[in-house]
A and B are shown apart, each in its own frame.
Chain A
Amino acid sequence: MTITVKFFASLREQIGTNQLKLTLHTPLTMEQVWTSACPNTPLPEYLLMALNKEYVQADAIVKEGDEVAFFPPVTGG
C-alpha cells in the first residue's frame, strides 16, 4: 500500500524534499512512518504531525492512501 509523506518548513530543508511516496507492507504509526521515510534522519525530539490534514499524535495509525505531514514547532514572533 502507498502513502504520501509531506515535509513542511525547516523539515523540508532538512530532508531535501517536500513530498515522497512510501510503500508500506503493514500499517505503521506516524513515528514509524518517519523512520521508514527518513532512515538517515533520527526522529526529531519535537515534531508536529498531521494525518489526512488532522493534527495527531505519534501513535496514530497510518493506512493505505493516507497523507502524512510532518512540520516543526514554531514559536518565534
Chain B
Amino acid sequence: MYSFLDSPPPILLSGDLFYPQLAQSRVLIIGMGGLGAPVTLHLARAGVGHLTLVDSDKVELSNLQRQIIHTNQDLGQWKVESARQKIRQLAPQIQIRLLPCRLETDLLSEQVSLSDVIVDCTDNFNSRFAINQACLYHKKPLVSGAALRFAGQLTVFLLQESRSPCYHCLYPDTPDMEMACHNNGIISPLVGVIGSLQALEVIKILLNLGKTLCGRLLLIDAYNMQRRILTLNKDPLCPSCSTKSPSKLLS
C-alpha cells in the first residue's frame, strides 16, 4: 500500500484512513482525452481499485495542451497505454484494463455491466447516446461531462433509479456537428475543471456521499466565469427512458 493511500484522503469525513469501498470499485472511463485524463488521475489517486480505460486514438502533439495525462514521450502510443503508465507510477496495485478500440454495442454492454460507475469523457453524440443506452439497460450510474471553447456542462444520471433523467432527456437526437475540441478549440483548463468535477461525482456515488448532480445540469461559461445549475427532470416522453415510450434499449 502506498503512502498516499495511508494518509487521510481529502474526502475524509469519518476518521477512517482509507475507504475500502473505493479499492473494491470498478469504474469505466470512456475517452482518454481532455476529460478522461483528469478523471483517471484523480480516481487513481483516490484509490479506486479497478479502472477500465477506453480510447481508440494514439497520442498526438496537438493533444498535449489539454490532455494532462499524456506527455511528449508518449507521442504515437495508444492513449490508454500512456494512461496506464501514469497510473502505474502512482499506484501499482490498481487493476487496469485497456481497450484501445471503439466500444461497439456488445463490448460496450459487457463493459458497462462489469462496472459500478461509467464516466462519459467522449467527444461526440453518437458515443454519448450509445453509452446512455447501455447504462440504461444495465441500470448503472453515468457521469457525463462535456466542454467546448469556453463552455462546460456536467451532470449525473443515476439510472439505477427510475426517476432519474437520462442523457436522451437532455439531448434529443442530435447529430454530430463537428463539435469536438480539436475542431472548435477549447480553453484547456476548462476540460480539467469539468473532468475533475466528474471524478468528484464518481467518488460521491461510490461512497454514497452527499448530493450528486442527478436531476441537475451544471453549466459553466468560463469566458465570464459564470456558472448556473438548472433543474433537469426526466422527460415523460423520452424515447429512451420513459415507460410510456417504445423501448429503444439494446436489441
Contact size class for B?
35 or more
Given contacts A54-B233, A75-B125, contact A9 B228 (CB under 8 A): no
The 17 listed contacts between A and B (C-beta, < 8 Å) are: A8-B226, A8-B228, A9-B150, A10-B149, A54-B230, A55-B230, A69-B228, A73-B174, A73-B179, A74-B179, A75-B125, A76-B34, A76-B148, A77-B31, A77-B35, A77-B36, A77-B123
Q: Bound complex: CA of A43 vs CA of B116, how far in Å?
A: 40
CB distance from B233 to the nearest CB of A (A): 7
Find A76's partner among B171, B184, B226, B229 (CB 8 Å cutoff): B184
Q: Bound complex: CA of A48 vs CA of B171, how far in Å?
A: 8
Q: Is the CB of A75 within 8 A of B230?
A: no
Given contacts A10-B151, A46-B174, contact A76 B221 (CB under 8 A): no
Q: Is A12 an interface residue (CB 8 A)?
A: yes
Q: Is the CB of B232 within 8 A of A55?
A: yes
Q: Is B186 an interface residue (CB 8 A)?
A: yes
Q: Is the CB of A8 within 8 A of B122?
A: no
Give every chain B residue within 8 A of A50 (Cβ-Cβ).
Answer: 228, 230
Q: Is B219 an interface residue (CB 8 A)?
A: yes
Find A75's partner among B33, B34, B124, B231 (CB 8 Å cutoff): B124
Q: Is the CB of B122 within 8 A of A77?
A: yes
Q: Which residues of A contact B (CB under 8 A)?
A: 8-10, 12, 18, 46, 48, 50, 53-55, 69, 71-77
Q: Is the CB of A74 within 8 A of B148?
A: yes
Q: Is the CB of B231 within 8 A of A55?
A: yes
Give every chain A residue within 8 A of B34 (Cβ-Cβ).
Answer: 76-77
The residue of chain A having its C-beta at the shortest distance from the C-beta of B174 within the complex is A46
Give every chain A residue within 8 A of B230 (Cβ-Cβ).
Answer: 50, 53-55, 69
Q: Is the CB of A54 within 8 A of B231?
A: yes
Given contacts A8-B228, A18-B224, A53-B228, contact A77 B233 (CB under 8 A): no
Give every chain B residue within 8 A of A8 (Cβ-Cβ).
Answer: 151, 219, 221, 226, 228
CB distance from B131 to the nearest CB of A (A): 12
5 smallest CB-CB distances across A and B, nearest first, come from A9-B151, A76-B148, A76-B181, A77-B35, A54-B231
Q: Bound complex: CA of A9 vs CA of B221, how far in Å?
A: 6
Q: Is B94 an interface residue (CB 8 A)?
A: no
Q: Is the CB of A73 within 8 A of B171?
A: yes
Interface residues in B191-230 by Cβ distance below 8 A to A read: 191, 217, 219, 221, 223-224, 226, 228-230
The residue of chain B having its C-beta at the shortest distance from the C-beta of A72 within the complex is B151
Find A77's partner among B33, B177, B223, B226 (CB 8 Å cutoff): B33
